[in-house]
């Protein structure tokens, strides 16, 4: 069978990178039996519950786009996944989104109780910095810049800001501009950070970092618009979490504000912007392009 020009085998890319990331995470984390075993079991339970590993994949693909060695990016890919998993564990708590299912399994607090789930989230967040702190850094991006990058994305001006604004917007009518701010903070910031860290691990040029930032920002926004669409259009079984929660909680989402059809158009437009950001990357950008396309078309 003839392969189309520029064909990129994303399925194989995702499967092989997920395997590598899982192995690396396994080696970074304390063993499940390490004392006190409950917390390490809880950290591993959520981390290995079957997440899509999109952020690590973006990190590794960005390293490749800049001509880097993916092995250098691997610890950073793991650090980002630890932060992402922490945010999900906390997001699912009764005080937040209050969900019983995540990644097709019972949520952490349902299995281990709320106290341990809070601590497992805290420990995963801390683990991310322990991993990042062990990176030796690169000429343009010394060690402290790497740690700062993660801290900013996870902090009160980005990831946590998004969660706060999201909570405060529940049941309220908000503007499309405010909704975009929420999406920038709660979703796009960490996806963008994943891509930037991948580039940094390849000692990318300032121009490459600007292009990756532009790409990550737009892919991140598209990701959340699609997430909101899936919440309305898919089943809980398919999503591995409770579907239809946004409506129930009277959350501000693109489908709620502009409808499904317009939301799909917005996601496609954002993805096109992400593609445009990659124009200076030739074949090395194939994995990033394939990921952006996949994220637009995903059904879970």
Considering beta carbons, is residue 227 or 246 the nearer one to ligand GRG? Answer: 227
Site string for ligand GRG, 93-132 (x = CB under 6 A): ----------x-----------------------------
Q: Segment near ligand GRG (CB under 6 A), from 34-42, 87-95, 171-179, 287-295? A: 87-95
In the region spanning residues 38 to 57, those forming contacts with ligand GRG, defined by CB under 6 A, are 51-52, 54
Q: Is 90 in the site for ligand GRG (CB under 6 A)?
A: yes
Say how far residue 47 (Cα) sits from the centre of its chain.
Answer: 13
Task: For the segment 146-185, give every residue that binds ligand GRG (CB under 6 A).
Answer: 159-160, 162-163
- Output the DSSP codes for 197-239: HHHHHTT--HHHHHHHHHHHHHHHHHHHHHHHHHHHHS-HHHH
Residues 6+ apart with CB under 8 A from 114: 93, 94
What is the size of the binding site for ligand GRG (CB under 6 A)? 17
For ligand GRG, the closer of residues 88 and 146 by Cβ is 88
Residue 92 CA to residue 95 CA, distance in Å, equals: 8
| 3-state SS, residue 82 | helix
196 lies in the site for ligand GRG, by CB under 6 A: no
Distance in Å, CB of 227 to ligand GRG, minimum: 4
Q: Does 201 bind ligand GRG (CB under 6 A)?
A: no
Which parts of 222-281 interact with ligand GRG (CB under 6 A)? Answer: 224, 227
Q: 21: which residues sit within 8 A by CB, 6+ positions away?
A: 53, 56, 60, 74, 77, 78, 81
Q: State the residue number with the nearest CB to ligand GRG.
A: 51
Segments of the chain assigned E as strands: 101-102, 105-106, 137-138, 141-142
Contact 128, 119 (CB under 8 A): no
Cis peptide before 36 (omega within 30 of 0): yes
Nearer to ligand GRG, 47 or 204 (CB): 47
Least spacing, CB of residue 89 vs ligand GRG, in Å: 8
The dihedral region occupied by 29, where left means phi > 0, alpha psi between -120 and 50, and beta the remainder, is: beta
Which of the stretches 7-15, 21-29, 82-90, 144-152 binds ligand GRG when contact is defined by CB under 6 A?
82-90
- When binding is defined by CB under 6 A, the residue of 14, 47, 60, 87 that contacts ligand GRG is 87
* Residues in touch with ligand GRG (CB under 6 A): 51-52, 54, 84, 87-88, 90-91, 103, 159-160, 162-163, 186-187, 224, 227
């Amino acid at each position: 069978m003839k392969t189309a020009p520029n064909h990129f085998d994303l399925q194989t890319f995702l499967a092989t990178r997920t395997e590598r990331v899982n192995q690396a995470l396994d080696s970074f984390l304390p063993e499940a039996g390490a004392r006190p075993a409950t917390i390490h079991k809880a950290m591993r339970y959520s981390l290995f519950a079957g997440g899509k590993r999109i952020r690590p994949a973006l990190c590794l693909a960005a390293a490749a786009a800049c001509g880097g060695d993916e092995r250098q990016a691997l610890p950073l890919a793991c650090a980002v996944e630890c932060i992402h998993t922490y945010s999900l564990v906390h997001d699912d708590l009764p005080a937040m989104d209050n969900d019983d299912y995540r990644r097709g399994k019972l949520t952490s607090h349902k299995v281990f109780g709320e106290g341990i789930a809070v601590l497992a989230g805290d420990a995963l967040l801390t683990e991310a910095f322990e991993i990042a702190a062990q990176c030796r850094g690169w000429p343009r991006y010394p060690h402290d810049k790497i740690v700062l990058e993660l801290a900013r994305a996870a902090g009160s001006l980005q990831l946590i800001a998004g969660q706060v604004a999201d909570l405060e917007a529940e049941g309220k009518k908000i503007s499309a501009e405010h909704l975009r701010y929420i999406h920038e903070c709660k979703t796009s910031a960490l996806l963008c950070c994943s891509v930037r860290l991948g580039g940094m691990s390849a000692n990318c040029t300032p121009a490459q970092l600007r292009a990756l930032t532009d790409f990550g920002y737009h892919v991140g926004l598209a990701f959340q618009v699609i997430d909101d669409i899936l919440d309305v259009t898919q089943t809980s079984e398919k999503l591995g979490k409770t579907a239809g929660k946004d409506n129930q909680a009277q959350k501000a989402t693109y489908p709620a504000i502009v409808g499904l059809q317009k939301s799909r158009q917005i996601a496609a437009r954002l993805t096109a912007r992400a593609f445009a950001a990659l124009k200076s990357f030739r074949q090395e950008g194939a994995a990033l392009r394939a990921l952006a396309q996949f994220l637009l078309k995903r059904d879970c």
